[in-house]
Amino acid sequence: MKIPRKVEKHTRDKIYAENDPYLSPKGKGLVGVAICKDCTAVYHNKKWFLDPKLYEEKKH
């Protein structure tokens, strides 16, 4: 019969992202608009859109 053992927390809980320059502030998302040149997706208001009209509008 196996003896139950205590399971430790994952190491993911111990990652501190407060000083990470690549992450935006918590809950903020990216500032402004981001455009993917490969798939023409547009990041706006914390969401990605695959809208050709929006891409053309934000590209300029």
Question: pLDDT value at position 2?
Answer: 77
Q: What is the pLDDT of residues 9-39, one digit of tens each?
A: 665 556 666 666 666 666 666 677 888 888 9
Whether 57 has a pLDDT exceeding 80, the answer reads yes
Q: Is 44 exposed, middle or buried (0-12, 13-18, 19+ CB in 10 A)?
A: middle
Q: Report d(CA 54, CA 44) in Å as an integer.
A: 10
Whole-prediction pTM value? 0.51
Domain borders along the chain are 11-59
Question: pLDDT value at position 5?
Answer: 74
30 touches 22 (CB < 8 A): no
Question: pLDDT value at position 47?
Answer: 86
